[in-house]
Chains A and B, each alone.
Chain A
Amino acid sequence: MSASTLPVHSGGRPLKDLKVAAALGARRKRSDGIVRALCFAATALGLIFLVSILFTLAWRGFEAMSLSVFTEVTRPPGSGGGLLNAIIGSLIQTAIGTAIGTPIGMLVGTYLAEYDRGSALGGAVRFVSDVLLSAPSILIGLFVYQILVVPFGGFSGWAGCVALAIIVIPIVVRTTEDMLRLIPNTLREAVIGLGAPKWKMITLVCWRAAASGILTGILLAVARIAGETAPLLFTSLGNLNWSLSLNQPMSSLPVTIYNYAGSAFADWIALAWAGALIITLGVLGLNIGARSLLRSGK
């Protein structure tokens, strides 16, 4: 009895409010649903881009792929040839660039994590390193052209290596600093407590504890410079002949792809796609490897 009379007692107003509230609630749910759908669509679109890139590369790249791509050097259009000198040139320049940039980057990252105690110098170094991390790579190429190509009278593999090393440094700085900061201070205190000097604490304990993270950074840096074209255009220039001399212009995969893809010859364009597939598989493989390394390290 009382339960059924309750709404009657309170009159029509609460009922109306309930209706309004229900309508409002429905509207809020609807806008929530629309935004969810849009976000889902945005993510799907992002994934579609990636799939489309990989599919295009696989389709055009496998078509042009053959053993001669890896065994023969670049030749004039119409006479076959492969990308051997470009692949070797890329490997050499990437390796030397990483070898120059990594120690410097690790030392800078160590300075920021272990020695900089909120000093102005440390803040400035961190800031500059972050800016260099995102600075246009073509400008690094122009800069190396100014300091190494013009004064020494010509394009050279060394200039390309230095340009790539400059790109490596800030990447390694960032990961080294981040990884060293993750190490608990108690570990440092324990090492110092045993009487070890600070440099041994850093090199033998901190670096070792952060090794997988630092290695991840180095692999990501390798992946980044392996695909860089712009800084090499003005430094190692590219070389259509077989040459392993670092004092001569040196071929590299990205620059060869750039020159071939823009050419008018069908066989060169096909080779460019083969090269593009090789480089993308390498770069993405390095990225995935680096990520799984970091995950297993943790």
Chain B
Amino acid sequence: MQQAAPATIAPAAAPPRQGGSTGAAGDTVFELACRLSGILVLILLGAIIVGLFMGGLPAFRAFGATFLWSTEWDPVSEVFGAGVSIYGTLVTSVLALLMAVPLAFGIAFFLTELAPDWLRGPVGTAIELLAAVPSIIYGMWGFTVIVPLMATTIQPPIIDTIGEWPLIGPLFSGAPFGTGILTAAIILAIMVLPFIAATMRDVFSTVPPVYKESAYGLGCTTWEVVRNVVVPYTRVSVVGGIMLGLGRALGETMAVTFVIGNANRINTSLFGPGNTIASLVALEFPESPAGSLKLASLLALGFLLFVISFIVLAISRLLLRPKAAGAKRARNA
């Protein structure tokens, strides 16, 4: 106590011997605390992977590698496979990206090049607020707004026209329920849109102004500057931002659960119901007693989802890193 009081009140006046002795011990303790917290984060990730794998082990043992592609999900005879939900997860996420990426590009283009200064802040914040809306709210909104819209306005004409075409017709056939894989993909697209748009906006603004000014000086239009200077300069980071969006879409749970229709079979039609790994886990968990093979299968699904997300997020980080590391180095120098 006696040592600490003068040191905090008047650090400059503290006698050197006191500062030296408390400082050395404090430094060791504090650095150790920081380092151990860092290691705790590493352990946490390891524990999540090991925990999910151990929990899923009975399912992997019982079904072997066929668990990965088996489309069976039969709680009565205790046969479980991941095929349907992996298919649903990948299809909804990829469709979501196909819709979200052009929109996000447009928003980032608008925010960095077109919008007047006074508009950039408010519009940027509004788009970022889309990312803050809780997942379950998207589910309820999707169920009350998007699903009826799909069922009455969007699906019937598409089923009547494109649904009759050869080749791609089966993708757009069936009854217009409103729910289904495409609806889930639309909700996912809206949810990942702000993440991709924010990343794109941030990397677009890292382009050195002199590059853009040179292109403008040659007589380029705004679109030509973006296409020939901004996009090539930021290409790698843009892909990183898209992967970040993909990582988010893969694991989204509550919103998808509301609108995907939840069926354990693979539908050729995008209007048909399906499920994703996350929605299946959320729905089936309450009916899976501890220790059952069903629960083990759900944990195995969780493990697979974690592996897929980890790979996607790792790629995203590797792609986003080079420029960021360079900027940090420049800042520290």
Contact = CB atoms under 8 A, between A and B. Distances in A.
B317 interface: yes
Contacts of A272: 140
A218 B108 CA distance: 27
B222 interface: yes
Contacts of A41: 106
Contacts of A181: 328, 331-332
A128 interface: yes
A121 B38 contact: yes
B324 to A, nearest CB: 11
A18 B90 CA distance: 52
Contacts of B253: 136-138, 229-230
Contact of B125 (A136, A169, A291): A291
A233 B107 CA distance: 35
B132 A115 contact: no
B117 interface: no
Interface stretch (A2-10, A29-37, A243-251): A29-37
Contacts of A67: none
B130 A49 contact: yes
A65 interface: no
Given A125-B42, A166-B44, A135 B251 contact: yes
A28 B225 CA distance: 12
A209 B97 CA distance: 40
A143 B52 contact: yes
A242 B19 CA distance: 53
Contacts, number: 277
A147 B47 contact: yes
B250 interface: yes
Contacts of B47: 143, 147
B158 to A, nearest CB: 19
A128 B313 CA distance: 10
Contact of A129 (B35, B41, B55): B41
Given A46-B107, A132-B45, A199-B26, A142 B55 contact: yes
B247 interface: yes
Interface residues of A, number: 93
Nearest to A273: B140
A254 B134 contact: yes
B59 interface: no
Contact of B136 (A56, A142, A150, A257): A257
Interface stretch (A76-84, A91-99, A102-110): A102-110
B238 interface: no
Contact of B33 (A42, A107, A131, A136): A107
Contacts of A204: 8, 11
A173 to B, nearest CB: 7
A36 B52 CA distance: 48
Interface in B255-314: 258, 278, 281-282, 285, 290, 298-299, 302, 305-306, 309-310, 313-314
Majority SS of interface residues in chain A? Answer: helix
Contact of B306 (A121, A135, A173, A197): A135
B116 to A, nearest CB: 12
A123 to B, nearest CB: 10
Contact of B34 (A29, A108, A137, A284): A108
Interface string B309-333: 1100110110000000000100110
Given A108-B38, A143-B47, A143-B51, A136 B134 contact: no
B210 interface: no
Given A110-B34, A258-B254, A279-B134, A142 B52 contact: yes
Given A52-B141, A143-B51, A42 B136 contact: no
A22 interface: no
A52 B109 contact: no
A194 B23 CA distance: 13
Contact of A138 (B45, B114, B251): B251
Contacts of A28: 221, 224
Nearest to B193: A46
A39 B30 contact: no
Interface centre among B26, B34, B114, by most chain A C-beta atoms within 10 angstroms, is B34
Nearest to A108: B37
Nearest to B142: A53
Contacts of A159: none
Contacts of B52: 139, 142-143, 146
A212 interface: no
Interface of B: 7-8, 11-12, 14, 16, 19, 22-24, 26-27, 29-31, 33-35, 37-42, 44-45, 47-48, 51-52, 54-55, 102-107, 109-111, 114-115, 123, 125-130, 132-141, 143-145, 190, 193-194, 197, 221-224, 244, 247-248, 250-254, 258, 278, 281-282, 285, 290, 298-299, 302, 305-306, 309-310, 313-314, 316-317, 328, 331-332
Given A53-B137, A195-B11, 13 more contacts: A28-B224, A57-B141, A132-B41, A135-B310, A142-B52, A143-B48, A146-B52, A197-B24, A197-B26, A199-B27, A230-B282, A283-B134, A284-B133
